[in-house]
Structure 1
Amino acid sequence: MNMWRRTGVLLGVMLWMTQSWALCPVWSPARAEQEIAQLNAQLRQWNEAYWQQGASEVSDGVYDQLSARLAQWQRCFTSATHSDLTSPAISGTVNHPVAHTGVRKLADKQALVQWMAGKQDLWIQPKVDGVAVTLVYRHGKLAQAISRGNGLKGEDWTEKVRQIPSIPQTTSGALADAVLQGELFLLREGHIQKQMGGMNARSKVAGAMMQQGESNTLTQLGVFIWAWPDGPQKMEQRLTLLSQAGFPLVQRYSQNVTRLEEIIEWRDRWFTTPLPFVTDGVVIRSAIEPEGKHWLPTQGSWVAAWKYKPASQVAEVKAINFTVGRTGKIAVVAQLLSVTLDDKQVQRVNVGSLARWQTLDIAAGDQVLISLAGQGIPRIDSVVWRSTQRAKPTPPAQKYNALTCFYATPGCEEQFMARLEWLGSKSVFDIDGLGRAGWQTLHQAHNFTHIFSWLALTPEQLRNTPGVTPSRAAQLWHQFNLVRQQPFKRWATALGLPLNRAALGALADNRWEEIVARDEQGWQRFPGMGSTRAQRMVSAVHHPDISCLAQWLADQKIPGF
């Protein structure tokens, strides 16, 4: 039920600014002027493309969030915000018989409770995602259809609306002379919002209504009536009459509510169950409304929206960092100004490889669209806005590989720590509670020479480690002793040998000498060990660093060495 579209972003802008007031960029006046001007021009271009051509070059979520970012920058550097983007490029020439008020967007449950205070006869409806329209019936016939425009005036859509089969062309009784406000939407069958998202449905509706000439999309549109100004005072009667007149959806999807818990239940239900339209939240309204002649844009105090949490967020990049993984691969990490996604605070996101970073062309100051992938891992979907200054760091030299940094030599800090962290993981030695921070604490205190140096730590050394409690020291000593008793295959894995899972499972060797003695042909007999991997295996077991580590493990009386 999109009564605002981009014309109502101001409320969201103000809310966003309230939450992030302190986040002013550290820019010179000249750069601030340049950044603001460039983003303002881009938003204006997107705005005009939408209102003049019905084309959404970016999603509404991206548009709204970047509009909020622009307002924030203006407030930071000019002590004022310019609201020219909150009005459409085309306001229209046809007067609405009753103004569109818009709908106040509530941030959370607390804001909803405050809004509900003192209000009576409350109803909840899905917030259907489409384009707002006024339908005017006179003497039982559809006389006029008007786009929302600026809320007071809109475009004449009468001929377009008459081509939509689902909209009644005639009415009778109380609806013979009536003004209705509602949402033109794309008809869907079994749309589950949580799984399917927005489907770009709003843009398709807008494009069909603004397209010159005929559009096949018109036959795929429906209307959800969310307001009958000066209609019957009782909501039940209003819903029944609308349904009888050919507008059944509003009765089917309107529920009387009295408590917050009921609103939450319906909101969750409509988010996860099949509906005939795309939604982006719910609308809560009081059946007690003022007379239509008193309605004004932004003044609809009796109606509010509680939108679903966005599946993606625009975040500002603070910095670009590089990490070297256990096998020597260089990964790029973007540090972000903190944003919330599905109740998670996201401050960093893995961009991926150097090649992907270079393809995306991300620099500090850019605005990126992030979402949650499987298992709640944040990811960058795209760059939605690039800063005018393109200062990007120089990545590390490509000098790392699977056979580097077994020893704590200069330049090996990242890969060395990645190796230690991997050793403590479930896939290797499963050392409980010893993550990267714990390994760093031990390494800083005892200056490890190589990736197995921790095995030689004494109980006294562990107790004297800064930041490690006596009980934790005893636990680590016990776990390290258990590591000494791990099977030989675990130690072969710990050395980073290029054995796949199938080959490791088929390995019957119990001594290091047997591993070293096998040639390429011997390794190719193992499942999944082709020529390339067999060559890598031979190179690895004969590598000087691995040979030295194997000898050190033998000195430590590790079984098999």
Structure 2
Amino acid sequence: MKGWTLIILMLFSAMGYCDCPEWTQGRAIQEMSALKQQIKEWDNAYWQQGESQVTDETYDDLRTQLLQWEACFPHVIGHEKAITAKGGNIAHPVAHTGVRKAADKHSLAAWMQGREALWVQPKVDGVAVTLVYRNGELVQAISRGDGLKGQSWLEKVNAIPSIPKVTTGLLANSVLHGEIFLRQPDHIQQRSGGLNARAKVAGAMLRHGASPLLSELGIFIWGWPGGPKAMPERLQRLAEGGFPLAQQWSWPVADISEVENWRKRWFTRPLPFVTDGVVVRQSREPEAQNWQPGQGDWLIAWKYDPEAQATQVRDIDFTVGRSGKISVVALLESVTVDDKQIKRVNIGSVRRWHDWDIAPGDRVLVSLAGRGIPQIKNVIWRGVERHKPQPPEQRHFHALSCLYYTLDCHEQFLSRLVWISSSGVLAISGLNHAGWQQLVDTFHFEHVYSWLELTDQQLQGVPGFSAKRALEMWHRFNLVRQQPFRLWLISLGLPLPAAALRHLPDRHWDEVANRDELSWQQLPGVGAERARKLVAFIRHPQIAALVDALARQRITGFSRQ
């Protein structure tokens, strides 16, 4: 769970999070109470047992969701506190300011404008701590808490070998702010992601009793209130005092392009820790006594784009493919992942949808799979009251259904037309799903070859078709008549493997229709079961009717001798 800074930022963004749900007061109480109780359980597990039961991204998103609902229904239920971190009873000698987040490259460039002596560092992904040294000895280690007070972590920090217990020189009497992190040699952020490293560190630090993980932790010092003014000296002193990482991973930058280069380099190359972005800071900082939570305007973070984004399911849509297979599509509130806007995700089969148990109103994590295909990673929240739509009955759709149009067949019929016009079949260019939809709605097609009957005058009257497009479409419909017999067999959906089709000697439908199961089995890839299906397909009444329609249009291989 992240600290108070993120929660404050979420408060400012909550009102723009999404539209308010149209709930009755009773429904609002139900939904908000359920989510509030869940967040409370996660908080208790995190702060009392040191266990992170959900990822930080899921927690952050659902807390933002709750804050947004509270803004929509301000008088329904008690509000969540903006600060969830346990403040503790030990005051920080110098407050943790937190770090503001740049929305994008342009906002970071605007922040950098006019500022001097800027440095960039990796934004190490761990948990924040204050170390206090007096007369060369570590006397306090304080969790960040609410930024003003935290809990004593001295016992745990003393068990971390990589954190110096004694210091000399300027560090002998110092206050240091840093990030305790899980050491990850040769970690590549782009390849391995966050590994939930922050939660593992928090668990080790918050859990009662010793943890074997403590020996695997390190520290990155990113703040030295009252330290040397010049960054090079500050880094050198830290390195000499046993804190070398800041010097190794801090670089001066003059413009946004340099920051962008370091950000990309650290995202794609090996580092000794998990990161979630970069931090740009000024060497010049205000006096330590003036540091206050939420007021660290001398530094800013530019986080990496998350590999997954949370969004809400608007609706569930069912589509029927040309073979009769029913697919389920989740329609989403628009979300951007890796510069790609996602509004819909194909879930797959009805069975897979039931396994996922996704309904309108649920919140899901969306990412990009191979080739940039959107996918749902998981469902992060299901509401109390859910209404799942009823899918079409699979028994009504199969390889021989919807060759003729009915209202119930609308989806599969259109899928057949789109497939027939594709490059691997009849190759009718210039017609996509929307174009076929327009033709079907205008001319009320009887079957999947009704377009062969259209005249150029009829096409001129299609709404949305220019005269030029209508003429081009008519020419294409005429040219397609010259396609070879083999492609027309494919367009019918003849269940013949590609290898068998290449070896098929038949040049007329009558030859195909006269084949029995034994003759089909002479072709490569055709066994007894496939042969049986081929004979049944050819003898089906609707196939016979379509063959007659093609014959009337004098299509090669179908016209009567």
1:235 aligned partner: 231
1:457 aligned partner: 454
Shift of 1:401: 0.7
Instruction: Tell me the amino acid that sits aligned with residue 516 of structure 1.
Output: A
Is 1:205 aligned to residue 201 of structure 2? Answer: yes
2:56 aligned partner: 60
Moved more, 258-267 or 414-423: 258-267
Q: Is the 8 A contact 2:312 2:362 kept in 1?
A: yes
Q: Which residue, 73, 91, 97 being the options, matches 2:93?
A: 97
1:95-494 correspondence to structure 2 within 5 Å = 95-398=91-394, 399-494=396-491
1:72 and 1:192 map into 2 onto residues whose CA distance is: 35
**Residues 353 and 248 of structure 1: is their aligned pair in 2 closer, same or farther, counting only changes over 3 Å?**
same
Q: Deviations over 1:340-359 (max 9, x none)?
A: 22222222222221112222
For the residue of structure 2 that corresponds to 1:123, the secondary structure is strand
For the residue of structure 2 that corresponds to 1:84, the secondary structure is coil
Q: Is the 8 A contact 1:10 1:83 kept in 2?
A: no
Shift of 1:85: 5.2
Moved more, 238-247 or 320-329: 238-247
Q: Deviations over 1:420-458 (max 9, x none)?
A: 111222332333331110001111112211111112222
2:134 and 2:498 map into 1 onto residues whose CA distance is: 76
2:493 aligned partner: 496
Q: Is the 8 A contact 1:488 1:510 kept in 2?
A: yes
Instruction: Tell me the amino acid that sits aligned with residue 532 of structure 1.
Output: E
1:262 and 1:208 map into 2 onto residues whose CA distance is: 36
2:229 and 2:387 map into 1 onto residues whose CA distance is: 61
2:161 and 2:110 map into 1 onto residues whose CA distance is: 41
1:530 and 1:247 map into 2 onto residues whose CA distance is: 72
1:523 and 1:163 map into 2 onto residues whose CA distance is: 77
Q: Deviations over 1:238-263 (max 9, x none)?
A: 11222233322212221212222222
Q: Is the 8 A contact 2:188 2:270 kept in 1?
A: yes
**Residues 501 and 173 of structure 1: is their aligned pair in 2 closer, same or farther, counting only changes over 3 Å?**
farther
Shift of 1:382: 1.7
Shift of 1:506: 4.0
How many equivalent residue pairs?
Answer: 556
Instruction: Tell me the amino acid that sits aligned with residue 543 of structure 1.
Output: H
Shift of 1:79: 7.4
**Residues 502 and 283 of structure 1: is their aligned pair in 2 closer, same or farther, counting only changes over 3 Å?**
farther
Is 1:560 aligned to residue 549 of structure 2? Answer: no
1:180 and 1:525 map into 2 onto residues whose CA distance is: 82
**Residues 117 and 525 of structure 1: is their aligned pair in 2 closer, same or farther, counting only changes over 3 Å?**
same
1:522 and 1:245 map into 2 onto residues whose CA distance is: 87
Shift of 1:221: 1.6
2:186 and 2:517 map into 1 onto residues whose CA distance is: 58
Q: Is the 8 A contact 1:44 1:85 kept in 2?
A: no
Shift of 1:140: 2.5
1:14 aligned partner: 11
Q: Deviations over 1:382-412 (max 9, x none)?
A: 2111122122222212211111001112311
Q: Which residue, 510, 513, 529 being the options, matches 2:510?
A: 513
**Residues 223 and 324 of structure 1: is their aligned pair in 2 closer, same or farther, counting only changes over 3 Å?**
same
TM-score normalised by L of structure 1: 0.93
Instruction: Tell me the amino acid that sits aligned with residue 238 of structure 2.
Output: L
Q: Deviations over 1:248-302 (max 9, x none)?
A: 2212221212222222222222222222211111111111111222212212111
For the residue of structure 2 that corresponds to 1:283, the secondary structure is strand
**Residues 163 and 438 of structure 1: is their aligned pair in 2 closer, same or farther, counting only changes over 3 Å?**
same
**Residues 33 and 541 of structure 1: is their aligned pair in 2 closer, same or farther, counting only changes over 3 Å?**
same
Q: Deviations over 1:354-386 (max 9, x none)?
A: 112222222221112211222222222221111
Q: Is the 8 A contact 1:94 1:155 kept in 2?
A: yes
Q: Deviations over 1:198-234 (max 9, x none)?
A: 1111111112222333322222222111111111100
For the residue of structure 2 that corresponds to 1:369, the secondary structure is strand
**Residues 556 and 83 of structure 1: is their aligned pair in 2 closer, same or farther, counting only changes over 3 Å?**
same
Q: Is the 8 A contact 2:404 2:448 kept in 1?
A: yes
For the residue of structure 1 that corresponds to 2:73, the secondary structure is helix
Q: Deviations over 1:293-351 (max 9, x none)?
A: 22122121112112122211221122222221111111222222222222222222222
For the residue of structure 2 that corresponds to 1:35, the secondary structure is helix
Is 1:73 aligned to residue 69 of structure 2? Answer: yes
**Residues 422 and 16 of structure 1: is their aligned pair in 2 closer, same or farther, counting only changes over 3 Å?**
farther
Q: Is the 8 A contact 2:112 2:255 kept in 1?
A: no
2:130 and 2:349 map into 1 onto residues whose CA distance is: 51
Q: Which residue, 40, 46, 59 being the options, matches 2:42?
A: 46
Shift of 1:136: 2.0
Shift of 1:26: 1.0
For the residue of structure 1 that corresponds to 2:480, the secondary structure is helix
Unpaired segments ≥5 residues, structure 1? none
2:497 and 2:10 map into 1 onto residues whose CA distance is: 53
Shift of 1:191: 1.9
Q: Is the 8 A contact 2:49 2:208 kept in 1?
A: no
Moved more, 430-439 or 210-219: 210-219
1:188 and 1:529 map into 2 onto residues whose CA distance is: 55
1:122 and 1:269 map into 2 onto residues whose CA distance is: 18
1:34 aligned partner: 30
Is 1:537 aligned to residue 526 of structure 2? Answer: no
Shift of 1:117: 3.8
1:390 and 1:302 map into 2 onto residues whose CA distance is: 47
Instruction: Tell me the amino acid that sits aligned with residue 542 of structure 1.
Output: R
For the residue of structure 2 that corresponds to 1:207, the secondary structure is helix
Instruction: Tell me the amino acid that sits aligned with residue 337 of structure 2.
Output: L
TM-score normalised by L of structure 2: 0.93
1:348 and 1:131 map into 2 onto residues whose CA distance is: 36
